Structure 1
Amino acid sequence: MLLWVLGFTLLGSLGAIFCAGLFLTFPHSVRKLLTPSLMSFATGTLLAAAFLGMIPAALELAEGYQVSASVLAGIVLFFVVEKLILWRHCRDRDCDPHERAGPLILIGDAVHNFTDGVVIAAAFLTSVPLGIATAVAIIAHEIPQEVSDFAILLESGYERKKALLLNSLASLTAIPGALIAYFWLAQVNAAVPYVLAISASSFIYIAAADLIPTLQRQHNPASSVRQFIMIIIGIAIIGWVNTLA
């Protein structure tokens, strides 16, 4: 099981970096066209992983009220954390939270990837299909996120090779996150459903508070249809993987 955890943790971190770097080689017009589709696919995978995988798995291990309360608490927690981060780094009204300095991007990526490692380990300790579905959802979300982070690092004056190296190093924090979670949760099985519930709340929050509002800025029918189709494809893939359990 540990090899599954480490393999998909590496795939989820460095795989997303590779795909993002490859994506940046495309012409700007192509990236502009594909980005909403990637974000739509990520939305579908995140929501499906939360509602079709993590929450049902948590409900099999703990009482429904406790799981629901954990999901709700997680959503509120992520809202508060995001508010504190924005308040700390955006003190004036004109601040755009996406216009952050390079070091802040790297620190944020390191923490985020550490958490991803924890999530993947908790999912695999529940079942292999849930672990695979969770890793797919993380990869789908990380690709557009890493593209954005690469762009910010380049705008901050980093050379392309240096930006790629530093982003890759930040992604490797997923490994200690996965290892710590794997060995801790293996000893404290009672914590698994609550880690899954909190993980599900993070997926729901990312989709609802970040991705969907961005997608809703495009109003033309053609883009809306593409977004809907990609969301459904994302849901279908995660749903299919979960049926393998």
Structure 2
Amino acid sequence: MDLLFLIIIFTALGGVLSVLAASFFLWLDDVQRARVLPHGISFATGALLAVAFWGLIPHAFEDVDSDRIQSLSAVIMAGILGFFMLEKLLVWRHCHHNHCEAHGEDAEGHHPAGMLILIGDGIHNFVDGILIAAAFLTDVKLGIVTSLAVAAHEIPQEVGDFAILLQSGYSKGKALYYNILSSLATVVGGILAYFSLEDLHDSLPYFLAMAASSFIYIAVADLIPTLHEKTELKVSVQQVALIAAGVLLICSLHGFAHDIELESLERKHQEGGR
């Protein structure tokens, strides 16, 4: 079977499958979802921070020259500031047209955190597509395993994304539609990598750093302040426990996927040097 066709099929599975597996959260009834949503926000906080600090940032800093470390750090800082300015612009645009003082919703009642999570997730999915393609270009079996590993470690993050989108005012249908659309960036990354993997290899750390900055900003600027709105001891303990659960689950799943992704890139690099 044509290798490009396999890459397209399995990058689609790696991205869309994780979204569909996580979408069960959307089909809870209103009462159950209202009860689960605050817990989902706590879990999403831990998951996003774990993806950023345990997965994306270490991966970005691997195998880079020492003179690039500072530039990658600058990209993370610039990304956080850039997402702050983007969110400010979105809030300002709504307030400018509606003559309000300041709040965090656009003309359709959507909080900017929803758009920011879609942007950051799109970048992350794009990188996943490149990694899946790199695995297929090394070995078909390795490509299949990598795509399944990507889907597995994306599922808990996608559950958190759905929670954030619903919290941001998106309907169930729109949350599913935009998350599937964002997941298609995996296919784009896979196709682009098939034709120009060597050219993209040097740019990968910067994509990873930018994705990490978006997840850090969303967790710290949008989600954690929401958690601080409730100060009861029982709720606070639940929040800490769910943040820890999000961190532990992402770290455990990412460890397996990360090892496979590194192996695929190393093999591809070795074959290219022969």
List aligned pairs for 1:61-76, cutoff 5 A. Answer: 61-62=63-64, 63-76=68-81
- Runs of 4+ aligned residues of structure 1 deviating over 6 Å after TM superposition are none
In the alignment, the residues of structure 2 paired with residue 26 and residue 20 of structure 1 have an alpha-carbon distance, to the nearest angstrom, of 11
What stretches of structure 1 of length at least 5 have no aligned partner? 154-162
Structure 1 residue 146 corresponds to structure 2 residue 165: yes
List aligned pairs for 1:35-74, cutoff 5 A. Answer: 35-62=37-64, 63-74=68-79
Letter in 2 for 1:183: I
Structure 1 residue 81 corresponds to structure 2 residue 83: no
How far apart are 1:169 and its partner, in Å?
Answer: 3.9
Aligned partner of 1:225 in structure 2 is 237
Aligned partner of 2:249 in structure 1 is 237
TM-score by length of 1: 0.78
Answer whether contact 2:15 2:186 (CA < 8 A) is retained: yes
Answer whether contact 2:94 2:106 (CA < 8 A) is retained: no
Instruction: Say which SS state the counterpart of residue 221 (structure 2) adopts.
Output: helix
Alpha-carbon displacement from aligned partner over 1:116-175 (angstroms, at most 9, x marks no partner): 3441231354474984576235403222123235x555xxxxxxxxx62x5544344225
Which of the two has higher C-alpha Rg? Answer: 2
List aligned pairs for 1:185-196, cutoff 5 A. Answer: 185=193, 186=197, 187-196=199-208
In the alignment, the residues of structure 2 paired with residue 133 and residue 22 of structure 1 have an alpha-carbon distance, to the nearest angstrom, of 20
Instruction: Say which SS state the counterpart of residue 51 (structure 2) adopts.
Output: helix
What stretches of structure 2 of length at least 5 have no aligned partner? 1-6, 133-145, 260-274
2:104 to 97, 118, 131: 97
How far apart are 1:114 and its partner, in Å?
Answer: 6.5
Instruction: Say which SS state the counterpart of residue 229 (structure 2) adopts.
Output: coil
The farther-off stretch of 48-57 and 59-68 is 59-68
Letter in 1 for 2:62: E
Structure 1 residue 7 corresponds to structure 2 residue 13: yes
**Structure 1 vs Structure 2: percent identity of aligned residues?**
28
RMSD: 3.0
Answer whether contact 1:55 1:67 (CA < 8 A) is retained: no
In the alignment, the residues of structure 1 paired with residue 59 and residue 25 of structure 2 have an alpha-carbon distance, to the nearest angstrom, of 31
TM-score by length of 2: 0.70
